[in-house]
Every structure is written in structure tokens, then in C-alpha cells.
Amino acid sequence: MQQTLSIIKPDGVKRGIIGEVIKRLEASGIRIVAMKMLHLSKAQAEGFYSVHRERPFFQSLTDFMSSGPVVVMVLEGEDVIQKYRTLMGATDYRKADEGTIRKDFATDIEKNVVHGSDAPETAAFEIGYFFNRLEIVH
């Protein structure tokens, strides 16, 4: 059984589509095993996205991610990393498949509604960044 980290980003929370994202997760058979809402500081957003610190969009991304509350979740299921990435669609919503979360709701390559881990090693780091063992149900 695999786990991945999901974030509903500040644009998704502001636009009132937390329920829509969760509905799609549950409809696809993905289990939510941890969830909380928090408002990241700039430093916390920088720590989370530290792999991107050399990228030109790093400042703008971490400003955006600390601009309002987010919902973070741990998702569990067979092949859930890939399954959730398929539900989200491509990072750039203009390239995302029809029916994906980003195609339906994203407005910008940065303001793309959701985040999902891209591999087991990043999932382990990202889950540990937000949750301790007691906060994840078994």
C-alpha cells in the first residue's frame, strides 16, 4: 500500500473547491488517512519546496503558497502516487487532460489548485514535513 501527500493550494481553498477535490478523490477509491488546514509561513513554504529553490519561479511560488490557508492530506491506496497525479492532470493546466482537476479549475501554471508528490521518496519527505505518525490513521 502506497501513500502520497496532497495539498489543496490557496487558490483552491479561496475558491471554495475543497469539497470538489475531496469528492473526486473519494470517487476514485483513494483513501484519506490524514487531513488538516494550515496557513504556511513564507519560510515553511520555502522548506517544503526547497528542491525548487534554484528555479526562476521559486519566490513567486512560495509567496503564493503562503498567501492563504491550504488543506494538506495524506492519501493511501494501491499505486496512489500515479493515480492521484492522473486525477490532478499536468502541472500546466493548458496541457492537462479533460476531466482532470487542473484542467477544470486551474487558472495559471502556478495557481494550479493542487499539489501531489511525484515519487515514493518525495512522498516520504512531504508527508513527514506536515504529519507525525500519530496524525496518520491506520
Kindly list the catalytic residues.
Answer: 115
Which part of the chain contacts ligand CMP (CB under 6 A), choosing from 23-31, 35-43, 74-82, 107-115?
Answer: 107-115
What distance in Å separates the CA atoms of residue 54 and residue 8, rounded to the nearest whole number?
24
* Number of Cβ within a 10 Å radius of residue 17: 19
Give me the 49-88 binding string for ligand CMP, x by CB under 6 A, dash otherwise. ---x----x---x---------------------------
Residue 11 DSSP symbol: H
Measured distance between the N- and C-terminal CA atoms of the chain, rounded to whole angstroms:
11
- 76 forms beta bridges with 3, 31
Is the Cβ of residue 41 or residue 59 nearer to ligand CMP in the bound state? 59
One residue of 115, 126, 127, 131 binding ligand CMP per CB under 6 A: 115
One residue of 28, 44, 91, 122 binding ligand CMP per CB under 6 A: 91
Which helix (DSSP H) or strand (DSSP E) does residue 124 occupy? Answer: helix 120-130
Interacting residues toward ligand CMP by CB under 6 A? 52, 57, 61, 91, 109-110, 112, 115
